[in-house]
Amino acid sequence: MRQDSLLSIENLRTRFHTYEGVLTAVDGIGLEVYRGETLGVVGESGCGKSVTALSILRLLASPPAEIQGEILFDGKNLLNMSLDEIRQIRGNSISMIFQEPMTSLNPVLTIGEQISEAIKLHQGVTHQEAWSKTVEMLRTVQIPSPEIRAKEYPHKLSGGMRQRAMIAMALSCHPRLLLADEPTTALDVTIQSQIVELMERLKEEIRTSIVLITHNLGLIAGWPSE
Ligand SMILES: Nc1ncnc2c1ncn2[C@@H]1O[C@H](COP(=O)(O)OP(=O)(O)OP(=O)(O)O)[C@@H](O)[C@H]1O
Ligand SMILES: [Mg+2]
């Protein structure tokens, strides 16, 4: 293992125990992510990419999920951590952009409420400070009129804007690792490349490592080289 390894996965196996039998979604994969680098994970639909990301953050209910192997983050095995420890890691050191922004954004809270809640929770700042950081973050991800947009509910934003809001939320706590699960799949091509540029820029600014999950080889091919 290299010294600048941030995430190192060995022999990860995730199975679901269902009524129909045992489904092996991830079968002994390994990968390594270095500090400040972007790692692309490419594979056909259903091959276990999302389950891998969800396993890293231990977001799968167990049972039915059963996770085996080793997931070292900064040298510590996430799979051995207590629930309290893993909660500290989520959103703080590792955050995730989910494949479906509509299922991961809360429809009954405004964009600003969701992002500022996350900031308050992880950074222990006042409500007002969290709100101004939220507006700043929405500006950074190039959402126009961020003060107004922050007060809107997710369904009022376009798909591209929702994805940007997700990115803003994921990056608002300056994570050391960002798991981006198909961050641009739902978007049209011009917006896709804007979001790729945006993520790379933010990566430089806050020195985040990225795991970029996609089934789109074109996206990986077009990713700015390091
Ligand atoms: N909660 C679950 N219970 C049972 N099986 C599941 C569960 N979640 C995922 N699976 C199965 O695990 C396998 C891998 O799914 P996963 O969502 O990781 O695929 P993927 O590579 O992300 O695909 P896509 O590119 O379509 O997003 C699939 O066969 C899926 O049906
Ligand atoms: Mg997926």
- In the reported structure, the alpha carbon of residue 21 is separated from the centroid of ligand 2 by a whole-number distance in angstroms of 22
pLDDT number for residue 60: 93
Domain count, the chain: 1
Residue 41 near ligand 1, beta carbon < 6 Å: no
CA-to-CA distance for 44 and 29, rounded, in angstroms? 15
CA-to-CA distance for 55 and 21, rounded, in angstroms? 20
Q: Nearest bound ligand to CA 48?
A: 1
Task: Assess if residue 98 is contained within a domain.
Answer: yes
CA-to-CA distance for 1 and 79, rounded, in angstroms? 19
Percent above pLDDT 70 for the chain: 97
- Domain span at residue 123 reads 5-221
Ligand 1 closest atom vs CA 48: 18
> What's 9's DSSP letter?
E
Task: Assess if residue 12 is contained within a domain.
Answer: yes
CA-to-CA distance for 202 and 224, rounded, in angstroms? 13
Task: Assess if residue 119 is contained within a domain.
Answer: yes
Task: Assess if residue 155 is contained within a domain.
Answer: yes
Q: Which of 68-72, 141-145, 215-219, 222-226 shows the lowest mean pLDDT across its residues?
A: 222-226
pLDDT number for residue 29: 96
Ligand 1 closest atom vs CA 182: 27
Report how far apart, in Å, the C-alpha atoms of 74 and of each of 2, 9, 32, 133 are: 12, 11, 11, 27
Q: Is the pLDDT of residue 208 over 60?
A: yes
Given a contact cutoff of 8 angstroms between Cβ atoms, the answer to whether 177 and 7 are in contact is: yes
pLDDT number for residue 1: 67
Summarised one tens digit per residue, pLDDT across range 127-145 is 999 999 999 989 888 889 9
Q: Is the pLDDT of residue 103 over 80?
A: no
Q: What is the CATH number of the domain that holds 15?
A: 3.40.50.300
Percent above pLDDT 90 for the chain: 55
Residue showing tokens 């376009």: 158
Range 169-197 average pLDDT: 82
Ligand 1 closest atom vs CA 213: 22
pLDDT number for residue 178: 93
Task: Give the 3-state secondary structure of residue 50.
Answer: helix
**Ligand 1: which of 12, 16, 45 to mutate, most ligand atoms within 8 Å of CB?**
16
Closest CA to 179 of 123, 103, 99: 99
Residue of minimum CA distance from atom 19 in ligand 1: 46
Task: Assess if residue 226 is contained within a domain.
Answer: no
- In the reported structure, the alpha carbon of residue 18 is separated from the centroid of ligand 2 by a whole-number distance in angstroms of 19
Residue of minimum CA distance from atom 3 in ligand 1: 16
- In the reported structure, the alpha carbon of residue 198 is separated from the centroid of ligand 2 by a whole-number distance in angstroms of 22
Task: Assess if residue 188 is contained within a domain.
Answer: yes
Q: List all residues 6 or more positions away from 151 whose beta carbon is below 8 Å from its beta carbon.
A: 110, 112
Residue 14 near ligand 1, beta carbon < 6 Å: no
